[in-house]
Amino acid sequence: MGSSVSRLLRGPAVLYLPAALFLLVFFLVPLFNVAWMSFTEPDTGFGNYTAFFASSFDVGVLLNTFKTAAIVTLISLIFAYPVAYVAARYGGALGSILLLVVTLSFWTSFLVRTYAWMVILGVKGPITAALVMLGWSPPPQILFTTFASTFAMTHLLMPFMILTLYAVMRRIDGTYMRAAAGLGARPLKAFTSIYLPLSLPGIANGSVLVFITCLGFYVTPVLLGSPRDKMIAGRIGDEIEQMLNFGGASAMAIVLLVATLGLFALYSRFFGLDKLWR
């Protein structure tokens, strides 16, 4: 036994030890603690889960979270695809500028960008001022609406979609499109028949990444959205900060985790989870 452990510590497996310890201390132990509290606080049993699924409000918040994530993912894909296409297909100075603009957004945190949108969309912001100059008086309220929350989350997550699509599109051989044009295919037909199918892995990967990231959004919906736009992360925060209901909040967190893992399982079933990292 001692010799086996000694060989293990001298072998390549020892390189995994720091990462394994990090995951154990900072991920598995807190996760186990959350799961434990969901069954033991304030009483032992499934009471927190029963209360969650018996509450039409909480179930509605969970469904709204998935609906919002789906809308943000779809809008991000619609706007990100042309940007990634131009950057990957044409490259050069234009592609470099587009990628520079996209990557610059990572230099600013989500919180700072959210506060920036509060200023831009506010009553005294430039958008409201522009609407007044165009004769729209009184101007519509933009801040604290579903539009503001969805728009800001789309802006925050679009870089992830663009870079994921770009990574796949860069590997698509341009000779396929030239061959299709040489055989008489119109540009739209060549795109829908050749380029779009080849870019589907990027669409799937980017959609999964944006969708799952959006499920956990907390700050942006709280600061920019209306009360009816509450997402499950905000509901968990309310239970902890206002009600001190750690057991109920833990149960909500576990439900969200299980739902997220279910999405990963579906993706792995139809596409293969390993494709997320290619």
Identify how many contiguous H helices and E strands the chain contains and give both numbers: 16, 0
- Check residue 210 and give its pLDDT: 92
- Check residue 252 and give its pLDDT: 92
- Check residue 276 and give its pLDDT: 52
- Check residue 93 and give its pLDDT: 79
| Strand residue runs (E) in the chain | none
Terminal Cα-to-Cα distance of the chain (whole angstroms): 39
Cα separation, 28 vs 78, whole angstroms: 37
Q: Tokens for 149?
A: 């929350």
Q: Tokens for 92?
A: 């050069």
Q: Is the dihedral of CA 174, 179, 180, 184 positive or negative?
A: positive
pTM value surpassing 0.95:
no
pLDDT tens over the chain, length 278 residues: 555 556 655 656 667 778 888 888 888 888 899 899 988 888 888 888 998 898 888 898 999 999 999 999 999 999 999 999 888 888 777 878 888 888 888 888 888 888 888 888 888 888 888 888 887 778 888 888 888 899 999 999 999 999 999 988 888 877 777 787 777 778 788 788 888 888 888 898 899 889 988 988 888 888 888 878 788 888 888 888 888 888 888 999 999 889 888 887 877 777 665 555 45
